[in-house]
Amino acid sequence: MPRRGFTVKKAWDNPLEHEMPGAVRVPAEVCIGSVLVRPATVLAPMAGVTDTVFRRFIRHASLFTTDQGSGNRNQGTDVETGVPQVSLLTGVPGDGSSSLGWLRPGIEADVTNQQSGCGLLMTEFTSADGLSRMRESKRRRYLTFYDDEHPIGAQLFGSNPETLAEAARIVQDTGFDTVDLNLGCPAKRGVGCNGGSGLLRDLPRIGEIFHAVRKAVTIPFTVKFRLGWNDAQIVCVELARMAEAEGLNAVSLHARTREQAYTGQARWEWIAAIKQAVNIPVIGNGDIRTPEDAAAMVAQTGCDAVMIGRAAPANPWIFRQIAQYTATGSYEQPTVMDRYRMIRAYFQMMLDEQEACKDLPRDARMGETAGKMKQFASWFTHGVPGGARLRASIYQAKTGAAVLEQVDAFFTTQLSGASETDHTVEDIPPLDFSSAAMACD
């Protein structure tokens, strides 16, 4: 049995090691209704994680471009796939010597899904009941996004068809590209009100929700769900067929039951079963930690796209690595200098966002960033030599600015007198995802 509270596990259970499966790659694109997702990769909704800052952070960390002109690495076209090879954008302050580089927030360039290794961003899951009741100013806190986040989908949870339909209309009017229904979250707070994976025990109610939301909006409507409540109640194939019949534009399956939470292996064979059962796009989710895993899922299931959750805070470059792997058959690992630039860039984005919203109404403001910076520091700094010392100093900091000072001081000492190539992180170990707020992957 999973742990009480269904918190996200620290690590995957005996993770399988996959090799690149021949000529199979993550698809270059997938159409979800009228929305083109290119490449076919999706950032999974994660409560307490996929806010505006993190989404933009992932989008910029994932930027790449097809090579044009001479002098770029990985020029040409992959012989097996015919996909143009890619060059990773650097844009790093300083000498830009890092292999992975870093794209500064606020870069003056158009950002589209054709340039980004992450094809579709998703919001944190949002209560339809709360959304329909809250003031307009507070909605901004949950539904704000920037132009460079397109295409972007908003995920809703709830159990009342009329309320979910009204919330979907709000999502559409706000300008989101897609709306998604959460039937996968195993957390008790959602299941207790018959939301999230709790609805998997009530297919007739799900059918009513599908019908009401589909009738309410014209933007693409998708659903994310699990195999079923437990092994005795596997309903994923029937649910996918129901979704297609009601006019939904795609389905996403996290290939575990609610009872499993995040334990055991994700059972990819059920993703394959759904792919055989429906004609709309099928997005696979569960146990994708590396580009090899992503390609292996496509090879084993035939899914049209892959969704990545827990691995993204651990390795924000994973989408870009998948894009690079798709084009070249290999990808680069981050160095300690890459980690430093990544941590600093993300923390500075958080501080900038806090400053930008300080004059908004109180319920629309971003609070003090120190707590969230500490949360992310525990993920970002695993794999960094001496990372435990950095985490200890960060946890003692009282403000976001003080956290950033500790980061700068640590890496200044860590990297002094040594080249960054001396500190390559060859293997990024599993991170601590014990927060119940992460229970929506």
pLDDT of 434 reads 36
pLDDT of 421 reads 44
What's the rounded Cα separation, in Å, for the pair 364 and 143?
10
- Work out the pLDDT band at 363, boundaries 50, 70, 90: low
pLDDT of 332 reads 84
In this structure, are residues 352 and 358 in contact, taking their beta carbons and an 8 Å threshold? Answer: no
97's tokens = 């010597």
Whether the pLDDT of residue 414 is over 80: the answer is: no
More confident residue, 108 or 57: 57
Helix (H) or strand (E) holding 252: strand 250-254
In this structure, are residues 366 and 357 in contact, taking their beta carbons and an 8 Å threshold? Answer: yes
Question: Which residues have a Cβ under 8 Å from the Cβ of 47 and sit 6 or more positions away?
Answer: 124, 125, 185, 187, 437, 438, 439, 440
Among 18-22, 35-39, 393-397, the range with the most confident prediction by mean pLDDT is: 35-39
Among 74-83, 261-270, 339-348, the range with the most confident prediction by mean pLDDT is: 261-270
E strand spans, 47-161: 64-66, 86-88, 121-122, 126-127, 152-157
Burial class of residue 362 (count of CB atoms within 10 Å of its CB; 0-12, 13-18, 19+): exposed
In this structure, are residues 87 and 132 in contact, taking their beta carbons and an 8 Å threshold? Answer: no
Q: Which residue in the list 31, 118, 185, 193 is annotated as catalytic?
A: 185
Whether the pLDDT of residue 321 is over 60: the answer is: yes
Residue 303 appears among annotated catalytic residues:
no
Q: CA dist 340 to 196, 272, 316, Å?
A: 37, 40, 13
What is the rounded average pLDDT for all residues in the chain?
Answer: 78
- The strand pair at 250-254 and 178-183 is best described as unpaired
pLDDT of 170 reads 93
- Work out the pLDDT band at 168, boundaries 50, 70, 90: very high
